[in-house]
Structure 1
Amino acid sequence: MTTANNKNLVPPAEWEPHAAVWTAWPTGDDLWAPEAKFARLEVEGLIRSLSEDCNDRKGDKVKLLVKNEEARDNAYAALGDLAEIILQPYGDIWLRDIGPIFLSNELAASFRVNGWGGKYIYEHDDKVSRAVAWLADARSEQHEFILEGGAIDGDGNGTFLTTRECLLNPNRNPDWKSEVDAETALEKTLGARKVIWLDGGLMNDHTDGHVDNVARFVGPSHVVCQAPTGDDDPNADVLNAIYDVLVHSTDADGNKLKVTQIPSPGKYLNDEGDIVPASHMNFLIGNASVVMPTYGELSEEAAEEAVSILQDVFKDRQVIGQPSNYILTGGGSFHCITQQQPAE
């Protein structure tokens, strides 16, 4: 049951000041190939980048969930006092999707969790959203439909990006028969005034096409998406279609969108030879930095160009490329494993 109508209260844009960034420590070799320690090194790199002061801007305060004493001791050995380490049960580290969506520093929206359409059911994941809100001293408003944070991206002014592939997937909310049903739900809970619909996301995306892998707001009326890299980019048609939609779109106030493209990582294969949804779009906008995932030698040139273009977009922040190969084995990257808590 929805407890309130927040049509006038919209989640702040990600570039607005944060009181904290929440994330979690990879734990369990059954979840992390070949061992959790490799993903932990990448999460450590993310936290160190977020915490750094830059360009007269103070870095983020990071709050790190750990699920057991081994993880707590390991995280403290790696990070010391660089993050506030909090013992809290969770299934896996994808806080963007299982955590709350903060509407303000003191108010969070919590949605039902069903394991990304029933594919990945982990114990405790359905309790993380309310737990994080409680730990953040924020009131949690409960909403009885499925919504993962990575399925939407907003400008802080009521305009949201999403994909039909995910938000209208019958494995989420089968009662939603049209875009209007989803838009009504987003209006009532997150203050949506306009939803820009993209058809789908990246090939083999575990999340059924989360938008934070393909298109992101980076400023008022300004979005970033990817351009295909190489003649064999498996997502070329999808990326070109996304660009075409965005350049013909306006925000909730009728402003034409400015669209900036960065190169995709191109064709990225795992050890079994399967195409993996590697994306440079899964960056996190911190208080002083923007941390963008990179994926190694095969996409090194594209990553360098992507960082350069994003640096021109975020002139007041330091854009940092950080390896995310092992986090990607779990299905996502830096944006997927974090959730920002607004300063106000």
Structure 2
Amino acid sequence: MGTSPTSFFQPAEWQPHRACWLAFPSHEALWGDLLPRVRAEFTALCRAIANPDPRTGYCYGEPLNILVLDEAGEREAQSLLGALQPQFHRVPFGDIWLRDTAPITLVNEQGDRQLLCLPFNGWGKKYELAGDAELAPRLARLMGLPYRTLSLTLEGGALEVDGEGTCLSTQQCLLNPNRNPGVTVAEVEAHLRDALGVEKVLWIESGLANDHTDGHIDTLVRFVAPATVVCMLPWSREDPNYDVLSAIYQQLQQLTDARGRSLTIIPLPSPGIVTSTQGEILPASYVNFYIANTTVVVPTYGTEADAKAVAAIAELFPSRTTIGLSARTLLEGGGAFHCITQQEL
């Protein structure tokens, strides 16, 4: 990577995890009548990540660290998740989107660890919830690791790395004046090179319709191996993201990574039209999967493309078990499985 052995960098998600951090869905004011179903989807995700043996209960996957708000929340979480032997932590948080509010683990070649905290402003001041802006440094202190804070305002879901010097992101998010007014591409790239230990930033222009994150990359393009990415292609002209997804596929064909390699692009189907209980188009994405130690958990939405997408992703991770699970209710809140997880390395 052209860095010294003591330089810190963000590893690729497929590297071994020490644990996965999540926050137990707790806020009735945010979820309303959907909260029981959100908790059911959350519980299924946790089980897939922990990967317990059905006979012995021994968990072969990764340990779970789960945030709860209070004693009552811990009791409720324990009743649903206790068999997975998680560690519960009573910590204030605004909502469950820890990909964006929890710290990122950095490592160096000597095995040292450091945490990177990202300044958070509620996705461009759209959803400013008590506890979220302070969560990253609070968790860093809880974890007992040294940490530093990036001087750009952004979220973890806006960053995708290959662990070999390349970062993917979107201009719609990182250059948005609701986060970093007046910042230039060159300034953003300099910050990311220093913070993440990357050498090259690859830019996608914009993201999915009605995505309140302003185009997070983890719903658009993901690395699945060095120089290999997945993206989605629309099924038909009726796809609400037809133009965006077609443009992303074309953009990826022009890019090379930090080592000069052209990207191998593996297309997945798009879920197509997925609407909320109010009839609004939701930013559904199969790319929002979580790569755990022994499993890959893929969100599904009850569309005809679900099975095809899960099967395609399974082929990319032969050493892991790929599991498709419903994220249909989670999506009502704006995201899916990758959005509510943060790996600790």
- Compute the TM-score of the two structures, normalised by the length of structure 2: 0.93
CA distance in 2, matches of 1:71, 1:262: 38
Distance, in Å, in 2 between the alignment partners of 1:49 and 1:40 is 14
Match of 1:167 in 2: 174
Answer yes or no: is 1:118 the counterpart of 2:128: no
The correspondence of residues 175-324 of structure 1 with structure 2, limited to 5 A, is: 175-176=182-183, 178-296=184-302, 299=303, 301-324=304-327
Contact 2:295/2:320 (<8 A) preserved = yes
State the Cα deviation string for residues 269-296 of structure 1 (Å, max 9, x = none): 1122111101111100000000011112
Gap regions ≥5 residues in structure 1: none
Hey, what's the Cα distance between the residues in 2 that align with 1:6 and 1:148? 27
State the AA in 1 paired with 2:328.
Answer: N
Q: CA deviation at 1:153?
A: 0.4
Shift in alpha-carbon separation, 1:60–1:166, aligned structure 2, 3 A: same
Counterpart contact for 1:33–1:329, Cα < 8 Å: no
Q: Residue by residue, what CA displacement relative to the aligned partner does 1:191-223 show, whole Å, maximum 9, x if unpaired?
A: 121111001010000101101001000111110
Larger RCO of the pair (alpha carbons < 8 Å, separation 6+): 1
- What is aligned with 1:71? 73
Q: Output the CA distance in 1 between the equivalents of 2:130 and 2:20.
A: 23
Distance in 2 (CA, whole Å) between partners of 1:138 and 1:293 is 31
State the alpha-carbon separation in 1 of the partners of residues 207 and 246 from structure 2: 12
Q: Determine the C-alpha separation between the residues in 2 that align with 1:209 and 1:306.
A: 21
Q: What RMSD in Å do the two structures reach over aligned CA positions?
A: 1.7
Q: Distance between the aligned counterparts of 1:29 and 1:6, measured in 2?
A: 47
When residues 7 and 302 of structure 1 are mapped into structure 2, their CA distance, relative to the original with a 3 A threshold, is: farther
The CA deviation string for residues 109-139 of structure 1, in whole angstroms up to 9 with x for no partner, is 1121111101100111111101222222221
Q: Identity over aligned residues, as a percent?
A: 43
- Corresponding residue for residue 15 of structure 1: 14
| SS at 1:322 equivalent | strand
Aligned residue for 1:18, secondary structure, equals: coil
For the Cα contact (< 8 Å) 1:280–1:306, is it kept in 2? yes
Q: Which runs of 4+ in 1 moved over 3 A?
A: 5-8
Distance 2:60 2:253 in 1: 34
Aligned mates of 2:202, 2:72 — CA distance in 1: 44
The equivalent residue for 1:145 is 152
TM-score (norm 1): 0.93
Unaligned runs of 5+ in 2: 54-58
Corresponding pairs, count? 332
